Amino acid sequence: MKLNEDVIDFFNKQNFVIVSTIDKNAAPHSSCKGIVKIDPKGIIYLLDLYKGKTRKNLANNNKTSLTAVDEHKFKGYCLKGTASEIAAADIDADVADEWKKKITQRITHRLIKNIHGEKGHPYHPEAQMPRPEYIIRMDVEEVIDLTPQHLK
């Protein structure tokens, strides 16, 4: 499914998104993930560093959703689709380079906020992240605009 520029721009501005999966008991699980790259053809690459419930759930049920909102603009989207795992050895170089750029941007953003007195986490979590052993590839099948109809 092709993604329009508005959706792509919106998600590219997010520091993280909420990824929801379904566990073996059909219960939802949500976690924060970073977007690595968005292909306008409807493919989104996500980083999953901690190999926890999201990975386990996707191995049993590849249906997933990705949600982000901008509270100030009262705008958001939920993307629904299927996900698969790509091993680190099989990650395209451009996708790996994109993640390195995003990590650098996040560290820079955190440093600037700290300089301006907006104290956050005392350490730089992004700098301590383990190297990815795999990434998640999500193939988008449906885009849901979460903006209330009367505000569009």
What is the CATH number for 39?
Answer: 2.30.110.10
On whether residue 26 sits in a domain, the answer given is yes
What's the gap between Cα 86 and its chain centre? 15
- Which tens digits make up the pLDDT trace of 129-140? 667 789 999 999
What's the gap between Cα 49 and its chain centre? 12
Average pLDDT of the residues in 20-48: 96
Residue for token pair 């994109």: 98
- Look at residues 139, 130, 70 and name the one whose alpha carbon lies nearest to residue 99: 130
Indicate the average pLDDT of the chain: 90
On whether residue 23 sits in a domain, the answer given is yes
Average pLDDT of the residues in 63-78: 97
How many alpha carbons fall within 13 Å on the CB side of residue 24?
5
Strand, coil or helix: what is 64? Answer: strand
On whether residue 113 sits in a domain, the answer given is no
